[in-house]
Structure 1
Amino acid sequence: MTAYHVTIIGSALSGNKGAAAMLESAVQTLDERLGAGNVRYSLLSMYPAEDRAQNPYPHVEVIPASPRQLGVTINLLALLYRLLPPLRSLLRRRSRAVGALATSQVLLDQGGITFTDGREKFLLYNVASILPAFFTGTPVFKCAQAIGPFHNPVNRRAALMFLPRVDTIVTRGRITHDFATGLGLTNIVAGADYAFSLQLDGTEITALASMYDLSFFDGGAVVGVCPSVVLQKKVDARGGDYVGQMVAFIDALTADGRKVLLLPHSVRTGTDKVHNNDLPLCREIHARLSRAKDVLFVDRELSSQQLRALIGLCGTFVASRFHAMVSSLSMAVPTLVIGWSHKYREVLEMFGSEEWAFGHDKLTPAFLLERFGDLELRQAEVKSQLLERLPDVRRTSVAQADLIAELVLRRAAA
């Protein structure tokens, strides 16, 4: 019987590969600290069938926890667990989610951005993700993530009500840390995104070579481009044409003799639904390109490690998905970021690269080409700076594993 039990919410193995990178980083680093045979993990999953299909870990169980299941059933049963002690044994047996929380030393909340102004529609989910653990008496550890700002009264009240009850909040950068400090939180630790801890095992390139002709990367630097359906919605909502802008940018690159890697960093296999799924967007972009022969299009779901290895083959990278940016920085690839939140800038600050990010409100093909040209001119300088800063960022990322392991050991001994 395993000695330790860790429940995880807010991440996944399927779909968004940033979420997968955070989850797998936790499993890798905690196995190292607590012993691979000593820990079992329970993942409260939005997409249990898809996550089970992608799960390579025998000691990770996937428990259904769709937003409705989480918000209604799991929260209600966890509340009953708190209010009616005689029913606790029955509730642990009948509800896998409650049973997992009640027997875990910690709940890891791996939501990438929570309790943030402008994302009030996700606020109920942010609360529902941690409330059952409060009911079962399980400490909540918020892995490195963005929180704040807290100007909106609804978000501020919710944050003041629930965040002080969290055991530890790892802030994912200077801006988030300032927001948390300004709210008066004292349970915070400055950190770096958990995905910076993701380890590659050396088999990724061999697996990729069986799917794609990697000679594409010979004979010159390739520009990686990672679009995002989240950014598309924001650009199109203000009357822009995100697909057209991406097509124009890639066509300009290939017309100038460059090769382009077009890849989605969030893919849900077997569906055209666009939530957590950039593949339909990338297919549309690819179909409209003038020189598709100069573009390597990743047309399927890859693992987070395979995506990172593939991104590492690029000379430069243009990212709109947050964790695609994390992967390119992890591989010391000079990166230009089109973002929509402070979460991009604060991570780039760790590398002294914040000048290479701009908001979606500035996105035009001309401006994008101008900024990319600037990055290319300074590519060697930027790469050298990334290589210099990367070890410290990784150490800061891995440090949260030490905090989690200490909490697990302390709770197990109690």
Structure 2
Amino acid sequence: MTRITIIGSALSGNKGASAMLEAAMQTLGERLDDPQFTLLSMYPVEDAAQNVYPNLEIVPAAPRQLGVTINSLALAYRILPFLRKTLRSRSRAIRALAESDVLLDQGGITFTDGREKFLLYNVASILPALNTRTPVFKCAQAVGPFQNPINRWASKTYLPKARTIVTRGRITHEFAEGLGLTNLVAGADYAFSLELDGTEHDAVAEHVHMEFFDGDVVGVCPSVVLRKKVDARGGDYAGQIVSFIESVRAQGKRVLLVPHSVRTGTDKTHNNDLPLCREISARLRPGDDVLFIDRELTSQQLRYVIGRCSLFVASRFHAMVSSLAMAVPTLVIGWSHKYREVLEMFELEEWAFGHDQLTPEHLADRFAALDAARDDVKAKLDAHLPEVKARSIMQADLIAQIARAEA
């Protein structure tokens, strides 16, 4: 039996994380005989409530528990062999790691300058597996740049220890090669491999009048991460999104307002865009030309809904991935090279700009340009999507090879 442990993704909260997790389970289930999965979860209660997979075990691994307890036990497992049986029996996390054929690290962006506050978590996510001698496979993600001395030291120390690092685009690959890493494979985000199961329409139709999508629909996916960055420099992110939506409505288009990162039952904004979207919705002029999805959908349901749009404006990375995967012309407001390098795969990098460029005028101009070029953009999406999906699903073949060799 093949056992695989996963960290850095989730079923709840950020549906990009859910898309990566479920894509891995889908693709590896097709390649391995009855694989069993363990998720080291940052949100174990929420993830357990949403877990419908009989072969997925949810094990608590909140940041402090991961950084202190699990890492300490994994170190003890390495240096005190006589305790290994006891540690496996007492700790579900250690048992999962010790018995797994591979650890999948699905962190979307790790070991990168400007995100030093997450560096300890980036290290803590893979160090227990290194101490239990479990191969580490870093699924397609952004890493680098590595100019900050602390990040550079940590990256040079720990990234070479991974069995494989899949880079998510050209810029990341160049950063990693510049660091001297040789355990690299050029790939594409794992979420591109996520397949719909055909039940999405009926599931969404229980909450949404699907006739809404019969016209020209513009999807808008805000991000609390972007809000913090824009508002920190004196801007008004929510106000700008409200103004943009009203301008789109004035053009006779319908607008879908959809959060791609949702944590039900809490107003906390970490990995939760629902409170922001509710605020934006409340400030909009009432009308039946706006549809606000005020609930948590699954990653497949979200992808289906996004695919029904004519155009899409994304600030969440994996909302962008879903719109590209459904061949919807997309305008991206981002904060990292991770957006642009994915769009490069489609020859569409011109349709991304940074939050520092966000003004009502610039957003309106770029959207008008995308609207005018939608046929050309759609043609590029259709032309490049098969190759991008192939680069994504290639990860499953690599992981399966490692798992079979370790079994």
| Structure 1: distance between partners of 2:382 and 2:201 | 21
User: What is residue 234 of structure 1 aligned with on the other side?
Assistant: 229
| Matching residue's letter, 2:113 | D
2:4 pairs with 1:6: yes
**How much has 1:256 moved relative to structure 2?**
1.9
Look up the match of 1:285.
Answer: 280
Letter of the aligned partner of 1:390 in structure 2?
L
What does residue 191 of structure 1 align with? 187
Partner SS, residue 293 of structure 1 = coil
Q: Which residue of 1 aligns with 2:160?
A: 164
2:295 to 294, 300, 314: 300
- Rounded to whole Å, the distance in 1 between the matches of 2:53 and 2:330 is 32
Q: Please give the residue correspondences for 1:139-158 in structure 2 after superposition, counting only pairs within 5 Å.
A: 139-158=135-154
Does 2:355 match 1:369?
no
Residues 1:100 and 2:96 aligned together: yes
Amino acid at match of 1:11: S
Q: Could you tell me how far apart the structure 2 residues matched to 1:243 and 1:79 are?
A: 46
The Cα offsets for residues 92-126 of structure 1, whole Å up to 9 and x where unpaired, read as 00000000000000000000000000000000000
Distance 1:160 1:385 in 2: 37
Q: Which residue of 2 aligns with 1:270?
A: 265
SS of 2:288's equivalent in the other structure is: helix
Residue type at the aligned position of 2:4:
V
Aligned letter for 1:333? V
What TM-score results when the alignment is normalised by the length of structure 1?
0.98
Per-residue Cα deviation, 1:322-350 (whole angstroms, up to 9, x for no partner): 00000000000000000000000000000
**1:260-409 aligned within 5 A:** 260-409=255-404
**1:247 pairs with 242, 257, 266, which one?**
242
Letter in 2 for 1:8: I
Instruction: Determine if contact 1:286/1:292 at 8 Å carries over to the other structure.
Output: no
Q: Which stretches in structure 2 are left out of the alignment for 5+ residues?
A: none
TM-score by length of 2: 0.99
Gaps of 5+ in 1: none
Report the secondary structure of 1:200's partner residue. coil
Mapped contact 1:224–1:263 kept (Cα < 8 A):
yes
Amino acid at match of 1:288: R
Distance 1:257 1:289 in 2: 15
Once the two structures are superposed, residues 154-198 of structure 1 have per-residue CA deviations (whole angstroms, 9 ceiling, x without a partner) of 000000000000000000000000000000000000000000000
1:31 aligned partner: 29
Quote how far apart the aligned CAs of 1:291 are. 4.0
Aligned partner letter, 1:214? M
The amino acid of 1:134's aligned partner reads: L
1:149·1:179 contact (CA, 8 Å) conserved in 2? Answer: yes
Contact 1:18 1:322 in 2 (8 A): yes
Q: Distance in 1 between matches of 2:177 and 2:246?
A: 45
Once the two structures are superposed, residues 247-299 of structure 1 have per-residue CA deviations (whole angstroms, 9 ceiling, x without a partner) of: 00001111221100000000000000000000000000000012443110010
Question: How big is the shift at 1:221?
Answer: 1.4
Pairing partner for 1:77 from 73, 77, 80: 73
1:254–1:291 Cα contact (<8 Å) kept: no
2:52 alignment counterpart:
56
Specify the alignment match of 2:106 in structure 1: 110
Q: Which residue of 2 aligns with 1:211?
A: 207
**Percent identity among equivalent residues?**
71
Equivalent residue letter for 1:10: G
Please list every run of at least 4 consecutive aligned residues from structure 1 whose deviation after the TM superposition is greater than 6 angstroms: none
Partner of residue 83 from structure 2, selected from 69, 79, 87: 87
Partner Cα separation in structure 2 for residue 241 and residue 252 of structure 1:
17
- 8 Å CA contact 1:110–1:142 kept in 2: the answer is yes
SS where residue 36 of structure 2 aligns?
strand
Mapped to 2, the partners of 1:295 and 1:228 lie a distance apart of 18
Contact 1:113 1:147 in 2 (8 A): yes
Distance across 1 between alignment mates of 2:17 and 2:113: 21
Alpha-carbon offset, residue 56 of structure 1 = 1.3
Distance in 2 (alpha carbons) for counterparts of 1:229 and 1:399: 32
Name the CA distance, whole Å, in 2 between partners of 1:215 and 1:172. 36
**Residues of 2 paired with 1:31 and 1:96: CA distance?**
23
Paired with 1:179 and 1:212, the residues of 2 have a C-alpha distance of 44
**CA separation in 2, counterparts of 1:56 and 1:117?**
37
Q: Distance in 2 between matches of 1:129 and 1:217?
A: 41
Q: Deviations over 1:13-49 (max 9, x none)?
A: 00000000000000000000003xx210000000001
Is the CA contact (8 Å cut-off) linking 1:13 and 1:23 kept in structure 2?
yes
Task: Tell me how far apart the structure 1 counterparts of residues 285 and 234 of structure 2 sit (CA, whole Å).
Answer: 24
Query: Which residue among 1, 13, 16 is the counterpart of 2:14?
Result: 16
One-letter amino acid of the structure 2 residue matched with residue 253 of structure 1: V
Kept in 2: contact 1:105–1:138 (CA 8 A): yes
Distance 2:282 2:368 in 1: 25
The answer to whether the Cα contact below 8 Å between 1:251 and 1:291 also exists between their aligned partners in 2 is no
* Secondary structure of residue in 1 paired with 2:141: strand
CA contact (8 A) 1:196 1:327 kept: yes
Partner-residue secondary structure (3-state), 1:403: helix
Amino acid at match of 1:229: V
